[in-house]
């Protein structure tokens, strides 16, 4: 028989960015701007999605912080509007120095693929 723990790991569905093919992390050099999260994502670590022991504040790069303002910012995890709460790394990610890997803002590849496909289709001549 197979190991039940391995079966559980394979069959479990997670919402972490690193387990979804169309989502990726920015990973540019982090600046001084704090990352903001919405009320739904408050308390979640942006690296491992745990809700335990928030310790270090999240810093995002200048490109991702360009449109972040105090009044209306976007959540760095789910892109929801009106993110007001500061994001924190969990204790384990700080110990493993995952907080030094760069900007943890989640970006979406599928919208970039769709936009590039539309741009190519717009300028391609039609054969008649």
41-100 residue pLDDT tens: 999 999 988 888 899 999 999 988 886 665 568 889 888 888 889 999 999 999 999 999
Q: What confidence score (pLDDT) does residue 15 get?
A: 42
Q: What confidence score (pLDDT) does residue 95 get?
A: 94
For residue 19, give the DSSP letter: G
Checking if the pLDDT of 13 tops 60, the result is no
Residue 121 lies in a domain: no
Residue 19 lies in a domain: no
CA angle 111, 29, 108 (to 5 degrees): 10
Q: How many structural domains is the chain composed of?
A: 1
Residue 122 lies in a domain: no
Residue 88 lies in a domain: yes
Residue 83 lies in a domain: yes
Please, what is the end-to-end C-alpha distance for the chain in angstroms?
Answer: 61
Selection from 17-21, 35-39, 108-112 with the highest mean pLDDT: 35-39
Residue 18 lies in a domain: no
Alpha helices per DSSP H over 1-128: 4-11, 91-95, 109-123
Residue 13 lies in a domain: no
Q: What confidence score (pLDDT) does residue 98 get?
A: 92
Residue 2 lies in a domain: no
Distance CA 104, CA 111 (A): 19
Q: How many CA atoms lie within 13 A of 121 on its CB side?
A: 6
Which range marks the domain in which residue 72 is found? 25-113
Q: What is the largest CA-CA distance in the chain?
A: 64
- Other Cβ atoms less than 10 A from the Cβ of 35: the count is 27
CA-nearest of 55, 65, 63, 9 to 33 is 65
């Amino acid at each position: 028989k197979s190991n039940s723990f391995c079966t559980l790991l394979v069959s479990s569905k997670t919402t972490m960015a690193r387990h979804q093919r169309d989502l990726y992390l920015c990973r540019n050099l982090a600046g001084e701007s704090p990352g903001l999260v919405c009320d739904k994502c408050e308390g979640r670590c942006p690296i491992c999605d745990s809700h335990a022991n928030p310790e270090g504040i999240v810093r995002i790069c200048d490109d991702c912080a360009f449109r972040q303002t105090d009044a209306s910012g976007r959540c760095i995890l789910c892109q929801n509007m009106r993110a007001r709460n500061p994001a924190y790394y969990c204790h384990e990610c700080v110990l493993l120095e995952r907080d030094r890997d760069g900007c943890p803002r989640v970006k979406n590849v599928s919208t970039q693929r769709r936009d590039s496909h539309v741009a190519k289709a717009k300028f391609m001549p039609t054969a008649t």
